[in-house]
Chain A
Protein backbone atom coordinates (compact mmCIF):
# COMPACT_ATOMS: atom_id res chain seq x y z
CA UNK A 1 0.00 0.00 0.00
CA UNK A 2 1.36 3.45 -0.99
CA UNK A 3 2.53 5.77 1.76
CA UNK A 4 0.07 8.56 2.54
CA UNK A 5 2.17 11.68 2.12
CA UNK A 6 -0.55 14.21 2.81
CA UNK A 7 -3.30 13.57 5.33
CA UNK A 8 -5.77 16.45 5.87
CA UNK A 9 -8.53 15.94 8.43
CA UNK A 10 -11.29 18.47 8.96
CA UNK A 11 -9.00 21.27 7.82
CA UNK A 12 -10.36 24.80 8.25
CA UNK A 13 -9.13 28.35 8.02
CA UNK A 14 -10.97 31.37 9.38
CA UNK A 15 -9.67 34.90 8.88
CA UNK A 16 -10.53 37.90 11.07
CA UNK A 17 -11.65 38.19 14.66
CA UNK A 18 -14.57 40.67 14.73
CA UNK A 19 -15.78 39.89 11.24
CA UNK A 20 -14.90 36.30 10.48
CA UNK A 21 -14.43 34.92 6.99
CA UNK A 22 -14.34 31.17 6.54
CA UNK A 23 -11.87 30.54 3.74
CA UNK A 24 -11.72 26.78 4.18
CA UNK A 25 -14.06 24.51 6.06
CA UNK A 26 -13.79 20.88 7.10
CA UNK A 27 -11.61 19.69 4.24
CA UNK A 28 -10.39 16.11 4.48
CA UNK A 29 -8.41 14.12 1.93
CA UNK A 30 -5.28 12.02 1.55
CA UNK A 31 -2.64 12.06 -1.14
CA UNK A 32 -0.49 9.00 -1.65
CA UNK A 33 3.22 9.10 -2.54
CA UNK A 34 3.73 9.42 -6.27
CA UNK A 35 0.32 11.00 -6.78
CA UNK A 36 -0.37 13.51 -9.53
CA UNK A 37 -3.38 15.56 -8.52
CA UNK A 38 -5.02 18.87 -9.35
CA UNK A 39 -6.81 21.21 -6.97
CA UNK A 40 -9.37 23.18 -8.94
CA UNK A 41 -11.86 25.87 -8.08
CA UNK A 42 -12.95 29.35 -8.98
CA UNK A 43 -11.18 32.47 -7.83
CA UNK A 44 -11.83 32.92 -4.10
CA UNK A 45 -12.97 29.32 -3.66
CA UNK A 46 -10.24 28.64 -1.07
CA UNK A 47 -7.82 26.65 -3.21
CA UNK A 48 -4.92 29.07 -2.58
CA UNK A 49 -5.68 28.94 1.16
CA UNK A 50 -5.49 25.16 0.96
CA UNK A 51 -2.18 25.41 -0.91
CA UNK A 52 -0.80 27.77 1.74
CA UNK A 53 -1.73 25.26 4.44
CA UNK A 54 -0.26 22.34 2.49
CA UNK A 55 2.88 24.42 1.86
CA UNK A 56 3.26 25.16 5.59
CA UNK A 57 3.09 28.87 4.80
CA UNK A 58 0.02 29.18 7.01
CA UNK A 59 -1.49 27.28 9.92
CA UNK A 60 -5.04 25.85 10.03
CA UNK A 61 -7.58 27.41 12.43
CA UNK A 62 -8.90 23.92 13.07
CA UNK A 63 -8.34 20.40 11.84
CA UNK A 64 -5.06 18.61 11.36
CA UNK A 65 -2.57 18.25 8.55
CA UNK A 66 0.13 15.60 8.46
CA UNK A 67 2.92 15.71 5.91
CA UNK A 68 4.80 12.42 5.75
CA UNK A 69 3.50 11.72 9.24
CA UNK A 70 4.56 15.06 10.74
CA UNK A 71 1.70 16.97 12.33
CA UNK A 72 2.00 20.57 11.08
CA UNK A 73 0.49 22.02 14.26
CA UNK A 74 3.30 20.47 16.30
CA UNK A 75 5.89 22.62 14.52
CA UNK A 76 6.95 26.14 15.35
CA UNK A 77 7.75 28.67 12.60
CA UNK A 78 11.42 27.70 12.14
CA UNK A 79 10.38 24.03 12.24
CA UNK A 80 7.82 24.62 9.47
CA UNK A 81 10.44 26.52 7.43
CA UNK A 82 12.92 23.64 7.77
CA UNK A 83 10.31 21.02 6.80
CA UNK A 84 9.20 23.18 3.86
CA UNK A 85 12.78 23.31 2.64
CA UNK A 86 13.27 19.55 2.97
CA UNK A 87 9.94 18.03 2.03
CA UNK A 88 8.32 20.53 -0.34
CA UNK A 89 9.10 22.18 -3.63
CA UNK A 90 7.19 25.23 -4.85
CA UNK A 91 6.40 26.29 -8.39
CA UNK A 92 4.57 29.61 -8.54
CA UNK A 93 2.52 31.25 -11.27
CA UNK A 94 5.15 33.95 -11.50
CA UNK A 95 8.53 32.25 -11.66
CA UNK A 96 9.76 34.29 -8.66
CA UNK A 97 13.44 33.83 -9.42
CA UNK A 98 16.03 35.91 -7.58
CA UNK A 99 17.37 38.41 -10.15
CA UNK A 100 20.55 38.96 -8.12
CA UNK A 101 21.64 35.35 -8.74
CA UNK A 102 22.61 33.20 -11.71
CA UNK A 103 20.51 30.30 -13.04
CA UNK A 104 22.78 27.84 -11.25
CA UNK A 105 22.54 29.72 -7.94
CA UNK A 106 18.76 30.03 -8.23
CA UNK A 107 18.40 26.29 -8.71
CA UNK A 108 20.82 25.64 -5.83
CA UNK A 109 18.99 28.08 -3.51
CA UNK A 110 17.05 25.43 -1.46
CA UNK A 111 20.37 23.61 -0.80
CA UNK A 112 22.05 26.88 0.17
CA UNK A 113 19.17 27.71 2.51
CA UNK A 114 19.49 24.31 4.20
CA UNK A 115 23.21 25.12 4.70
CA UNK A 116 24.15 21.73 3.26
CA UNK A 117 27.63 21.61 1.71
CA UNK A 118 27.84 21.85 -2.08
CA UNK A 119 29.59 18.52 -2.56
CA UNK A 120 29.90 16.20 -5.56
CA UNK A 121 26.52 14.61 -4.80
CA UNK A 122 24.82 18.04 -4.92
CA UNK A 123 26.73 18.95 -8.10
CA UNK A 124 25.58 15.70 -9.71
CA UNK A 125 22.00 16.41 -8.67
CA UNK A 126 22.26 19.93 -10.09
CA UNK A 127 23.59 18.65 -13.41
CA UNK A 128 20.84 16.03 -13.62
CA UNK A 129 18.18 18.64 -12.82
CA UNK A 130 19.47 21.06 -15.43
CA UNK A 131 19.72 18.27 -18.01
CA UNK A 132 16.16 17.11 -17.38
CA UNK A 133 14.92 20.68 -17.71
CA UNK A 134 16.96 21.44 -20.83
CA UNK A 135 18.93 24.17 -19.11
CA UNK A 136 22.41 22.92 -20.10
CA UNK A 137 24.80 25.79 -20.75
CA UNK A 138 22.60 28.40 -19.06
CA UNK A 139 24.00 27.95 -15.53
CA UNK A 140 26.09 31.13 -15.45
CA UNK A 141 23.47 33.33 -17.07
CA UNK A 142 21.61 35.81 -14.93
CA UNK A 143 18.11 34.55 -14.16
CA UNK A 144 16.66 37.79 -15.48
CA UNK A 145 18.16 37.34 -18.94
CA UNK A 146 16.08 34.24 -19.78
CA UNK A 147 12.81 33.92 -21.69
CA UNK A 148 9.52 33.35 -19.80
CA UNK A 149 9.54 29.60 -20.54
CA UNK A 150 13.17 29.23 -19.50
CA UNK A 151 12.52 31.15 -16.28
CA UNK A 152 9.67 28.80 -15.40
CA UNK A 153 11.93 25.80 -16.06
CA UNK A 154 14.55 27.30 -13.74
CA UNK A 155 11.81 27.75 -11.11
CA UNK A 156 10.85 24.08 -11.55
CA UNK A 157 14.53 23.13 -11.22
CA UNK A 158 14.71 25.07 -7.97
CA UNK A 159 11.59 23.27 -6.70
CA UNK A 160 13.17 19.89 -7.52
CA UNK A 161 16.74 20.54 -6.37
CA UNK A 162 16.28 19.11 -2.87
CA UNK A 163 14.41 16.15 -4.40
CA UNK A 164 11.30 16.95 -2.38
CA UNK A 165 8.61 14.37 -1.79
CA UNK A 166 5.91 16.84 -2.85
CA UNK A 167 5.87 19.61 -5.44
CA UNK A 168 3.16 22.21 -4.90
CA UNK A 169 2.47 24.14 -8.09
CA UNK A 170 0.28 27.23 -7.94
CA UNK A 171 -1.09 28.02 -11.42
CA UNK A 172 2.28 27.00 -12.90
CA UNK A 173 1.12 27.60 -16.47
CA UNK A 174 -0.96 30.69 -15.78
CA UNK A 175 1.64 32.98 -17.25
CA UNK A 176 2.73 30.83 -20.17
CA UNK A 177 1.54 30.35 -23.76
CA UNK A 178 0.01 27.03 -24.86
CA UNK A 179 3.27 25.56 -26.10
CA UNK A 180 5.16 26.35 -22.90
CA UNK A 181 2.17 25.22 -20.79
CA UNK A 182 2.17 21.82 -22.45
CA UNK A 183 5.92 21.57 -22.05
CA UNK A 184 5.63 22.30 -18.31
CA UNK A 185 2.88 19.71 -17.92
CA UNK A 186 4.98 17.13 -19.84
CA UNK A 187 7.91 17.89 -17.56
CA UNK A 188 5.81 17.40 -14.42
CA UNK A 189 4.55 14.10 -15.73
CA UNK A 190 8.02 12.91 -16.59
CA UNK A 191 9.43 13.80 -13.20
CA UNK A 192 6.42 12.23 -11.47
CA UNK A 193 6.96 9.06 -13.40
CA UNK A 194 10.76 8.92 -13.32
CA UNK A 195 11.49 10.23 -9.84
CA UNK A 196 8.24 9.35 -8.11
CA UNK A 197 7.72 12.97 -6.99
CA UNK A 198 4.18 13.74 -5.85
CA UNK A 199 2.57 16.70 -7.61
CA UNK A 200 -0.28 18.85 -6.33
CA UNK A 201 -1.20 21.40 -8.97
CA UNK A 202 -3.54 24.26 -8.17
CA UNK A 203 -5.13 25.41 -11.40
CA UNK A 204 -8.24 26.86 -12.90
CA UNK A 205 -7.16 25.54 -16.31
CA UNK A 206 -9.54 22.64 -16.98
CA UNK A 207 -7.27 21.27 -19.70
CA UNK A 208 -4.37 20.90 -17.29
CA UNK A 209 -6.65 19.52 -14.55
CA UNK A 210 -8.08 16.93 -16.93
CA UNK A 211 -4.59 15.57 -17.54
CA UNK A 212 -3.97 14.78 -13.84
CA UNK A 213 -4.80 11.49 -12.12
CA UNK A 214 -7.03 13.00 -9.50
CA UNK A 215 -9.06 16.19 -9.26
CA UNK A 216 -10.01 17.83 -5.97
CA UNK A 217 -12.55 20.58 -6.50
CA UNK A 218 -12.89 23.30 -3.87
CA UNK A 219 -16.06 25.39 -3.81
CA UNK A 220 -16.85 28.02 -1.18
CA UNK A 221 -14.13 26.68 1.04
CA UNK A 222 -15.35 23.09 1.04
CA UNK A 223 -14.10 20.02 -0.80
CA UNK A 224 -16.90 19.60 -3.31
CA UNK A 225 -15.51 16.73 -5.37
CA UNK A 226 -12.60 14.30 -5.15
CA UNK A 227 -12.50 12.24 -8.33
CA UNK A 228 -10.04 9.79 -9.82
CA UNK A 229 -9.37 10.59 -13.47
CA UNK A 230 -9.00 7.31 -15.26
CA UNK A 231 -8.63 9.05 -18.60
CA UNK A 232 -5.56 11.06 -17.78
CA UNK A 233 -2.63 10.54 -20.15
CA UNK A 234 0.15 8.84 -18.17
CA UNK A 235 3.04 9.97 -20.29
CA UNK A 236 4.37 13.41 -21.09
Chain B
Protein backbone atom coordinates (compact mmCIF):
# COMPACT_ATOMS: atom_id res chain seq x y z
CA UNK B 1 0.00 0.00 0.00
CA UNK B 2 2.71 2.47 -1.00
CA UNK B 3 0.25 5.16 -2.22
CA UNK B 4 -1.45 5.09 1.21
CA UNK B 5 1.92 5.45 2.98
CA UNK B 6 2.93 8.30 0.68
CA UNK B 7 -0.44 10.01 1.22
CA UNK B 8 0.03 9.78 5.00
CA UNK B 9 3.59 11.17 4.76
CA UNK B 10 2.42 14.04 2.57
CA UNK B 11 -0.23 14.92 5.15
CA UNK B 12 2.23 14.58 8.03
CA UNK B 13 4.79 16.86 6.44
CA UNK B 14 2.18 19.63 6.02
CA UNK B 15 0.60 19.47 9.49
CA UNK B 16 -0.91 22.97 9.55
CA UNK B 17 -2.54 22.46 6.14
CA UNK B 18 -3.83 19.01 7.19
CA UNK B 19 -5.20 20.19 10.54
CA UNK B 20 -6.92 23.20 8.95
CA UNK B 21 -8.67 21.10 6.33
CA UNK B 22 -9.71 18.47 8.90
CA UNK B 23 -11.26 21.23 11.00
CA UNK B 24 -12.90 22.69 7.90
CA UNK B 25 -14.57 19.34 7.20
CA UNK B 26 -15.41 18.86 10.89
CA UNK B 27 -17.15 22.23 11.15
CA UNK B 28 -19.06 21.59 7.93
CA UNK B 29 -20.25 18.16 9.03
CA UNK B 30 -21.06 19.44 12.55
CA UNK B 31 -23.26 22.17 11.04
CA UNK B 32 -24.85 19.56 8.78
CA UNK B 33 -25.57 17.20 11.69
CA UNK B 34 -26.78 19.99 13.99
CA UNK B 35 -28.97 21.85 11.47
CA UNK B 36 -30.43 18.59 10.10
CA UNK B 37 -31.24 17.24 13.58
CA UNK B 38 -32.55 20.64 14.72
CA UNK B 39 -34.96 20.95 11.80
CA UNK B 40 -36.10 17.32 12.05
CA UNK B 41 -36.71 17.64 15.78
CA UNK B 42 -38.35 21.04 15.35
CA UNK B 43 -40.73 19.58 12.80
CA UNK B 44 -41.44 16.53 14.96
CA UNK B 45 -42.15 18.86 17.90
CA UNK B 46 -44.34 21.08 15.74
CA UNK B 47 -46.28 18.10 14.39
CA UNK B 48 -46.66 16.66 17.91
CA UNK B 49 -47.86 19.99 19.28
CA UNK B 50 -50.21 20.67 16.41
CA UNK B 51 -51.70 17.30 15.57
CA UNK B 52 -50.32 15.03 18.30
CA UNK B 53 -53.53 15.42 20.24
CA UNK B 54 -56.02 15.53 17.44
CA UNK B 55 -57.35 12.94 15.03
CA UNK B 56 -55.37 12.21 11.88
CA UNK B 57 -58.38 10.73 10.09
CA UNK B 58 -62.00 11.50 11.02
CA UNK B 59 -64.93 9.38 9.86
CA UNK B 60 -68.30 11.17 9.80
CA UNK B 61 -71.65 11.05 8.10
CA UNK B 62 -71.74 12.54 4.59
CA UNK B 63 -74.08 15.32 5.74
CA UNK B 64 -72.91 17.68 8.49
CA UNK B 65 -74.78 17.17 11.75
CA UNK B 66 -75.95 13.64 10.96
CA UNK B 67 -74.66 10.77 13.08
CA UNK B 68 -72.33 8.08 11.75
CA UNK B 69 -73.19 4.51 12.56
CA UNK B 70 -70.21 2.73 14.15
CA UNK B 71 -71.01 -0.47 12.25
CA UNK B 72 -69.15 -3.75 12.10
CA UNK B 73 -67.91 -2.79 8.64
CA UNK B 74 -66.33 0.40 9.97
CA UNK B 75 -64.82 -1.49 12.91
CA UNK B 76 -63.48 -4.20 10.60
CA UNK B 77 -61.94 -1.77 8.07
CA UNK B 78 -60.31 0.34 10.77
CA UNK B 79 -59.00 -2.56 12.84
CA UNK B 80 -57.61 -4.41 9.80
CA UNK B 81 -55.51 -1.40 8.73
CA UNK B 82 -51.94 -1.44 10.00
CA UNK B 83 -50.41 1.63 11.74
CA UNK B 84 -53.67 2.64 13.44
CA UNK B 85 -52.77 3.58 17.02
CA UNK B 86 -56.09 4.84 18.43
CA UNK B 87 -59.80 4.66 17.49
CA UNK B 88 -62.13 6.94 19.43
CA UNK B 89 -65.85 7.23 18.55
CA UNK B 90 -67.01 10.59 19.94
CA UNK B 91 -70.22 12.51 20.36
CA UNK B 92 -69.92 16.28 20.21
CA UNK B 93 -72.33 19.08 20.78
CA UNK B 94 -72.08 22.78 20.10
CA UNK B 95 -72.84 25.15 22.94
CA UNK B 96 -72.38 28.78 23.95
CA UNK B 97 -70.66 30.02 27.02
CA UNK B 98 -72.22 33.39 27.78
CA UNK B 99 -70.32 35.67 30.11
CA UNK B 100 -71.40 39.29 30.42
CA UNK B 101 -71.63 40.44 26.81
CA UNK B 102 -69.33 37.71 25.45
CA UNK B 103 -70.73 34.66 23.74
CA UNK B 104 -68.04 32.00 23.26
CA UNK B 105 -68.99 29.07 21.01
CA UNK B 106 -67.78 25.77 22.46
CA UNK B 107 -67.49 22.28 21.03
CA UNK B 108 -67.96 19.76 23.80
CA UNK B 109 -66.74 16.26 23.15
CA UNK B 110 -68.24 13.65 25.36
CA UNK B 111 -66.77 10.33 26.38
CA UNK B 112 -65.16 8.51 29.23
CA UNK B 113 -61.70 9.69 30.21
CA UNK B 114 -59.86 6.50 29.20
CA UNK B 115 -61.27 6.60 25.65
CA UNK B 116 -60.70 10.33 25.13
CA UNK B 117 -57.18 10.06 26.56
CA UNK B 118 -56.14 7.82 23.65
CA UNK B 119 -56.15 10.86 21.36
CA UNK B 120 -56.50 13.96 23.52
CA UNK B 121 -54.12 12.90 26.33
CA UNK B 122 -56.06 14.99 28.84
CA UNK B 123 -54.05 13.71 31.79
CA UNK B 124 -50.68 14.76 30.30
CA UNK B 125 -52.12 18.07 29.19
CA UNK B 126 -53.67 19.04 32.49
CA UNK B 127 -52.37 22.38 33.75
CA UNK B 128 -54.39 22.38 36.92
CA UNK B 129 -57.14 20.24 38.46
CA UNK B 130 -58.02 16.58 37.98
CA UNK B 131 -59.55 15.75 34.58
CA UNK B 132 -62.28 13.47 35.85
CA UNK B 133 -65.32 13.51 33.58
CA UNK B 134 -68.07 12.63 35.99
CA UNK B 135 -71.63 13.70 35.28
CA UNK B 136 -71.95 17.50 35.59
CA UNK B 137 -68.19 18.09 35.12
CA UNK B 138 -66.37 19.82 32.28
CA UNK B 139 -62.70 20.08 31.27
CA UNK B 140 -61.88 23.38 29.56
CA UNK B 141 -58.93 24.83 27.67
CA UNK B 142 -56.27 27.15 29.07
CA UNK B 143 -57.24 30.24 27.04
CA UNK B 144 -60.89 30.10 28.05
CA UNK B 145 -59.88 29.64 31.70
CA UNK B 146 -57.43 32.58 31.54
CA UNK B 147 -59.85 34.85 29.72
CA UNK B 148 -62.58 34.42 32.32
CA UNK B 149 -60.39 33.60 35.36
CA UNK B 150 -61.92 30.14 35.67
CA UNK B 151 -60.30 27.66 38.04
CA UNK B 152 -61.18 24.03 38.91
CA UNK B 153 -64.27 23.96 41.06
CA UNK B 154 -65.84 27.00 39.38
CA UNK B 155 -69.34 26.67 37.98
CA UNK B 156 -70.02 27.65 34.40
CA UNK B 157 -73.33 27.66 32.59
CA UNK B 158 -73.55 26.71 28.95
CA UNK B 159 -76.41 27.04 26.49
CA UNK B 160 -76.81 24.10 24.11
CA UNK B 161 -77.94 24.34 20.50
CA UNK B 162 -81.45 23.34 21.60
CA UNK B 163 -81.48 26.31 23.99
CA UNK B 164 -81.13 24.30 27.19
CA UNK B 165 -79.02 25.91 29.90
CA UNK B 166 -76.78 23.47 31.77
CA UNK B 167 -74.61 24.29 34.78
CA UNK B 168 -71.33 22.40 34.89
CA UNK B 169 -68.34 22.30 37.27
CA UNK B 170 -64.83 22.83 35.91
CA UNK B 171 -62.81 19.76 36.95
CA UNK B 172 -59.56 20.57 35.14
CA UNK B 173 -57.87 23.04 32.80
CA UNK B 174 -55.85 21.57 29.93
CA UNK B 175 -53.40 22.96 27.39
CA UNK B 176 -54.34 21.56 23.98
CA UNK B 177 -51.39 23.13 22.14
CA UNK B 178 -53.18 25.84 20.18
CA UNK B 179 -55.02 28.93 21.39
CA UNK B 180 -58.03 28.23 19.13
CA UNK B 181 -58.51 24.80 20.69
CA UNK B 182 -57.77 26.14 24.16
CA UNK B 183 -60.56 28.70 23.78
CA UNK B 184 -63.26 26.64 22.09
CA UNK B 185 -62.69 22.94 22.84
CA UNK B 186 -64.12 21.35 25.98
CA UNK B 187 -64.69 17.80 27.23
CA UNK B 188 -67.47 16.21 29.24
CA UNK B 189 -68.59 12.76 30.31
CA UNK B 190 -70.59 10.66 27.78
CA UNK B 191 -74.03 11.55 29.23
CA UNK B 192 -74.14 15.23 28.22
CA UNK B 193 -73.91 14.90 24.42
CA UNK B 194 -75.87 11.64 24.37
CA UNK B 195 -78.86 13.18 26.10
CA UNK B 196 -78.61 16.33 23.97
CA UNK B 197 -78.23 14.53 20.63
CA UNK B 198 -80.58 11.62 21.26
CA UNK B 199 -78.38 9.19 19.27
CA UNK B 200 -78.76 5.40 19.29
CA UNK B 201 -76.08 3.40 21.09
CA UNK B 202 -74.11 2.79 17.85
CA UNK B 203 -74.45 6.38 16.58
CA UNK B 204 -71.70 8.94 17.03
CA UNK B 205 -70.80 12.40 15.78
CA UNK B 206 -67.51 11.05 14.44
CA UNK B 207 -65.04 8.21 14.66
CA UNK B 208 -61.63 9.74 15.30
CA UNK B 209 -58.50 7.82 14.39
CA UNK B 210 -54.83 8.38 15.14
CA UNK B 211 -52.00 6.74 13.22
CA UNK B 212 -48.48 5.78 14.30
CA UNK B 213 -47.18 8.08 11.55
CA UNK B 214 -49.49 11.05 10.82
CA UNK B 215 -48.24 11.29 7.23
CA UNK B 216 -49.67 7.84 6.44
CA UNK B 217 -53.14 9.46 6.36
CA UNK B 218 -52.40 10.41 2.75
CA UNK B 219 -52.57 6.74 1.69
CA UNK B 220 -54.95 5.36 4.34
CA UNK B 221 -57.74 7.96 3.92
CA UNK B 222 -58.35 7.28 0.18
CA UNK B 223 -58.29 3.53 0.84
CA UNK B 224 -60.97 3.88 3.54
CA UNK B 225 -62.99 6.19 1.31
CA UNK B 226 -63.16 3.37 -1.26
CA UNK B 227 -63.86 0.60 1.24
CA UNK B 228 -66.43 2.44 3.39
CA UNK B 229 -68.48 4.03 0.63
CA UNK B 230 -71.07 6.33 2.18
CA UNK B 231 -68.81 7.76 4.88
CA UNK B 232 -67.04 11.13 4.91
CA UNK B 233 -63.32 10.44 5.48
CA UNK B 234 -61.34 13.57 6.43
CA UNK B 235 -57.55 13.63 6.28
CA UNK B 236 -55.68 16.12 8.53
CA UNK B 237 -53.18 16.77 5.74
CA UNK B 238 -55.92 18.03 3.44
CA UNK B 239 -57.33 20.27 6.17
CA UNK B 240 -53.92 21.65 7.27
CA UNK B 241 -52.37 22.54 3.94
CA UNK B 242 -50.78 25.72 5.32
CA UNK B 243 -49.00 23.78 8.04
CA UNK B 244 -47.71 21.26 5.50
CA UNK B 245 -46.52 24.06 3.23
CA UNK B 246 -44.67 25.60 6.18
CA UNK B 247 -43.10 22.25 7.07
CA UNK B 248 -42.05 21.64 3.47
CA UNK B 249 -40.58 25.16 3.19
CA UNK B 250 -38.67 24.57 6.40
CA UNK B 251 -37.32 21.28 5.01
CA UNK B 252 -36.35 22.97 1.75
CA UNK B 253 -34.47 25.74 3.57
CA UNK B 254 -32.75 23.12 5.73
CA UNK B 255 -31.67 21.17 2.63
CA UNK B 256 -30.39 24.39 1.04
CA UNK B 257 -28.26 25.18 4.10
CA UNK B 258 -26.91 21.63 4.15
CA UNK B 259 -26.13 21.62 0.42
CA UNK B 260 -24.28 24.94 0.62
CA UNK B 261 -22.32 23.78 3.66
CA UNK B 262 -21.30 20.63 1.77
CA UNK B 263 -20.36 22.65 -1.33
CA UNK B 264 -18.21 24.91 0.89
CA UNK B 265 -16.57 21.83 2.43
CA UNK B 266 -15.97 20.32 -1.02
CA UNK B 267 -14.41 23.53 -2.33
CA UNK B 268 -12.21 23.76 0.77
CA UNK B 269 -10.89 20.20 0.40
CA UNK B 270 -10.53 20.52 -3.38
CA UNK B 271 -8.50 23.74 -3.14
CA UNK B 272 -6.25 22.33 -0.41
CA UNK B 273 -5.65 19.12 -2.33
CA UNK B 274 -5.01 21.09 -5.52
CA UNK B 275 -2.37 23.14 -3.70
CA UNK B 276 -0.94 19.95 -2.21
CA UNK B 277 -0.80 18.38 -5.68
CA UNK B 278 1.19 21.36 -6.98
CA UNK B 279 3.49 21.29 -3.94
CA UNK B 280 4.16 17.58 -4.41
CA UNK B 281 4.59 17.68 -8.20
CA UNK B 282 8.31 16.96 -7.86
CA UNK B 283 7.80 13.91 -5.65
CA UNK B 284 5.10 12.53 -7.97
CA UNK B 285 7.42 13.00 -10.98
CA UNK B 286 10.25 11.17 -9.21
CA UNK B 287 7.97 8.29 -8.22
CA UNK B 288 6.82 7.97 -11.83
CA UNK B 289 10.43 8.04 -13.07
CA UNK B 290 11.21 5.23 -10.62
CA UNK B 291 8.46 3.14 -12.18
CA UNK B 292 5.30 3.96 -10.27
CA UNK B 293 2.31 3.64 -12.61
CA UNK B 294 0.04 6.63 -13.34
CA UNK B 295 -2.90 4.90 -11.65
CA UNK B 296 -0.95 4.29 -8.45
CA UNK B 297 0.29 7.88 -8.22
CA UNK B 298 -3.26 9.13 -8.83
CA UNK B 299 -4.54 7.16 -5.83
CA UNK B 300 -2.18 9.08 -3.50
CA UNK B 301 -4.52 12.08 -3.47
CA UNK B 302 -7.55 9.82 -3.27
CA UNK B 303 -6.08 8.30 -0.11
CA UNK B 304 -5.28 11.77 1.20
CA UNK B 305 -8.84 12.95 0.72
CA UNK B 306 -10.21 9.70 2.18
CA UNK B 307 -8.10 10.16 5.32
CA UNK B 308 -9.03 13.84 5.60
CA UNK B 309 -12.68 12.97 4.97
CA UNK B 310 -12.84 10.14 7.53
CA UNK B 311 -11.01 12.04 10.29
CA UNK B 312 -12.82 15.32 9.55
CA UNK B 313 -16.23 13.65 9.36
CA UNK B 314 -15.69 11.69 12.60
CA UNK B 315 -14.66 14.88 14.39
CA UNK B 316 -17.60 16.68 12.80
CA UNK B 317 -20.10 14.06 14.01
CA UNK B 318 -18.62 14.35 17.53
CA UNK B 319 -18.79 18.14 17.34
CA UNK B 320 -22.36 17.93 16.02
CA UNK B 321 -23.37 15.76 19.01
CA UNK B 322 -21.71 18.28 21.34
CA UNK B 323 -23.69 21.10 19.74
CA UNK B 324 -26.92 19.10 20.10
CA UNK B 325 -26.12 18.32 23.75
CA UNK B 326 -25.22 21.98 24.40
CA UNK B 327 -28.41 23.23 22.75
CA UNK B 328 -30.59 20.73 24.62
CA UNK B 329 -28.87 21.57 27.92
CA UNK B 330 -29.30 25.30 27.26
CA UNK B 331 -32.97 25.09 26.37
CA UNK B 332 -33.67 22.68 29.24
CA UNK B 333 -32.11 25.16 31.71
CA UNK B 334 -34.10 28.04 30.33
CA UNK B 335 -37.22 25.88 30.32
CA UNK B 336 -38.03 26.76 26.74
CA UNK B 337 -37.70 25.04 23.40
CA UNK B 338 -37.57 21.33 22.76
CA UNK B 339 -34.95 18.58 22.91
CA UNK B 340 -33.07 17.86 19.68
CA UNK B 341 -33.13 14.17 19.01
CA UNK B 342 -30.05 13.04 17.06
CA UNK B 343 -31.23 10.85 14.18
CA UNK B 344 -28.75 7.95 13.74
CA UNK B 345 -29.83 7.34 10.14
CA UNK B 346 -29.50 10.99 9.20
CA UNK B 347 -26.09 11.27 10.90
CA UNK B 348 -24.87 8.11 9.14
CA UNK B 349 -26.01 9.58 5.80
CA UNK B 350 -24.34 12.93 6.64
CA UNK B 351 -21.10 11.14 7.49
CA UNK B 352 -21.30 9.11 4.28
CA UNK B 353 -21.94 12.26 2.24
CA UNK B 354 -19.02 14.00 4.02
CA UNK B 355 -16.60 11.24 3.05
CA UNK B 356 -18.04 11.04 -0.48
CA UNK B 357 -17.66 14.81 -0.92
CA UNK B 358 -14.05 14.52 0.29
CA UNK B 359 -13.39 11.76 -2.26
CA UNK B 360 -15.04 13.75 -5.07
CA UNK B 361 -12.86 16.72 -4.13
CA UNK B 362 -9.82 14.61 -5.06
CA UNK B 363 -10.88 14.36 -8.71
CA UNK B 364 -8.93 17.42 -9.90
CA UNK B 365 -5.61 16.63 -8.15
CA UNK B 366 -5.99 12.96 -9.06
CA UNK B 367 -6.41 13.75 -12.75
CA UNK B 368 -3.59 16.29 -12.62
CA UNK B 369 -1.32 13.71 -11.01
CA UNK B 370 -2.21 11.00 -13.51
CA UNK B 371 -1.36 13.33 -16.40
CA UNK B 372 1.93 14.61 -14.94
CA UNK B 373 4.93 13.91 -17.17
CA UNK B 374 7.97 12.95 -15.06
CA UNK B 375 10.31 14.47 -17.65
CA UNK B 376 9.08 17.97 -16.74
CA UNK B 377 10.06 17.40 -13.14
CA UNK B 378 13.37 15.61 -13.38
CA UNK B 379 14.84 18.00 -15.91
CA UNK B 380 13.80 21.16 -14.08
CA UNK B 381 15.29 20.23 -10.72
Contacts and interface: CB of A to CB of B under 8 A. Distances in A.
A100 B2 contact: no
Interface in A97-133: 97-101, 109-110, 112-115
A82 B291 CA distance: 6
A82 B288 CA distance: 10
Contacts of B9: 100-101
Interface in B366-381: 373-375, 377-379, 381
B291 A81 contact: yes
B283 A98 contact: yes
Nearest to B12: A100
Contact of A90 (B10, B282, B290, B381): B290
Contact of B2 (A48, A92, A112): A112
B372 to A, nearest CB: 12
B381 A93 contact: yes
A65 to B, nearest CB: 16
Contacts of B373: 57
B196 interface: no
B349 to A, nearest CB: 35
Contact of B282 (A77, A96, A110): A96
A222 interface: no
B289 A86 contact: no
B379 A48 contact: yes
B6 A85 contact: no
A170 interface: yes
Contacts of A78: 293-295
B263 interface: no
B264 to A, nearest CB: 29
Contacts of B44: none
Interface in B1-40: 2, 5-6, 9-10, 12-13
Contacts of B290: 84-85, 90, 109-110, 113, 158
A113 B10 contact: no
A48 B291 CA distance: 19
A162 B284 CA distance: 20
Nearest to B283: A98
Interface residues of A, number: 31
A100 B6 contact: yes
B45 to A, nearest CB: 52
Given A57-B375, A94-B381, A113 B282 contact: no
A113 B287 contact: yes
A180 interface: no
A55 B378 CA distance: 12
Q: Is the interface of B mostly helix, strand, loop or mixed?
A: helix
Nearest to A174: B381
Contacts of B381: 93-94
Contacts of A112: 2, 5
A58 B291 contact: no
A110 B288 CA distance: 10
B167 interface: no
Nearest to A110: B290
A84 B381 CA distance: 20
Interface string B279-317: 000110011111111111000000000000000000000
Contacts of B379: 48, 170
Given A52-B375, A113-B2, A81 B12 contact: no
Given A58-B375, A100-B9, A113 B289 contact: no
B13 A99 contact: yes
B13 A84 contact: no
A85 B291 contact: yes
Interface string A66-99: 0000000000011001111110001011101111
A90 B290 CA distance: 7
B2 A90 contact: no
A100 B286 CA distance: 13
A96 to B, nearest CB: 5
A99 B293 CA distance: 20
A114 B13 CA distance: 24
Contacts of A90: 289-290, 378
B286 A96 contact: yes
9 contacts: A81-B293, A90-B289, A92-B378, A93-B381, A96-B377, A97-B286, A100-B12, A115-B2, A170-B378
Given A81-B291, A98-B287, A100-B10, 5 more contacts: A57-B289, A100-B9, A101-B9, A112-B2, A113-B292
